[in-house]
Structure 1
Amino acid sequence: MRGWIGLAIIGGIIYYFATETNKLDEPIEYVQTMFTTADKKVTSMTGTTIQRVDHKIPIIKEKIYERLSTIEIRELDGVFIDSDSITKFKEEYCSSSTRNHPVFSRDNLRFICDQI
């Protein structure tokens, strides 16, 4: 039990110095620069970058395409370019129920927002 109390006191002291004072700012910055330089070295040595592949988007597209007209499908293809455009679409049209899209009908827009 005394070990846990001592560990809690040490943790509290470290937390105090890390948040309330600037005594640990320099060592923390040093460690962060070491990690970033190591990461840059590994990245430059391998020459590869990690890209996330989202396998859900084609499945969602098929569900939505069954319901849309050709004009709406063309517009939706412009939305599904990348994940950034999907998030922009969600923020702009799916955040409130009163927003209207110039191409999608209200029911289809609601369906698309539910699927995304």
Structure 2
Amino acid sequence: MKGWIILALLCGALYYLYTETDKLDAPIAKTEEIVKKIENKVDSMTGTNIIKIDQKLAKARKDIIERLSAPELEEFNKFPLTPDAIADFKETYCGAKSPEHPVFSRDNRLYICDNL
């Protein structure tokens, strides 16, 4: 029981130093810097990059491809599905008074705008 009381007092003191004073800010910053360096070294040693695949975007692309005609499909494959390219397409062709796309039909253009 005596050990638990001592441990609780040490935890309380550490919590007080962390929340109420700035005495632990420098050691915490150094520790975070060291951890970041270690993560960078491990990443460089393995040579792998984590690429997050947006499953929603992949499903939308599949649904759009099934709907398009051959010329529309060729034009859609030229279109990169990056967030910037999607935003540009929506800004240009998805508004109420937007111009017609030279390749996509009106219905397919609206379908692309709704699903991207």
**TM-based fold match above 0.5:** yes
Residue matched to 2:102: 102
How many angstroms does 1:51 deviate by?
1.7
3-state DSSP of counterpart to 2:67: coil
Question: Which of 76, 79, 86 is the matching residue for 1:90?
Answer: 86
Is the Cα–Cα contact under 8 Å of residues 68 and 108 in structure 1 kept in the other structure? yes
Unmatched tracts of structure 2, length 5 or more: 1-15
CA distance in 1: counterparts of 2:85 and 2:20, whole angstroms? 47
Query: Which residue type is aligned with residue 75 of structure 1?
Result: E
Pick the structure with greater CA Rg. Answer: 2
Please, what is the CA RMSD of the aligned residues?
Answer: 3.3
Aligned length: 97
In structure 2, the CA distance between the partners of 1:42 and 1:104, relative to structure 1 (3 Å rule), is same
Is the Cα–Cα contact under 8 Å of residues 65 and 73 in structure 1 kept in the other structure? yes
List structure 1 runs of 4+ shifted beyond 6 angstroms. Answer: none
How many angstroms does 1:77 deviate by?
1.0
Unmatched tracts of structure 1, length 5 or more: 1-9, 18-23
In structure 2, the CA distance between the partners of 1:102 and 1:28, relative to structure 1 (3 Å rule), is farther
CA distance in 1: counterparts of 2:19 and 2:98, whole angstroms? 50
Alpha-carbon displacement from aligned partner over 1:1-21 (angstroms, at most 9, x marks no partner):
xxxxxxxxx78867xx8xxxx
Show the 5 A alignment for 1:41-80: 41-79=41-79
How many angstroms does 1:33 deviate by?
3.1
How many angstroms does 1:30 deviate by?
4.1
User: Once structures 1 and 2 are overlaid, which stretch shifts more, 102-111 or 28-37?
Assistant: 28-37
Identical counterparts, % of pairs: 32
Is the Cα–Cα contact under 8 Å of residues 43 and 49 in structure 1 kept in the other structure? yes
CA distance in 1: counterparts of 2:29 and 2:19, whole angstroms? 21
CA distance in 1: counterparts of 2:27 and 2:102, whole angstroms? 55
Query: Which residue type is aligned with residue 94 of structure 1?
Result: K
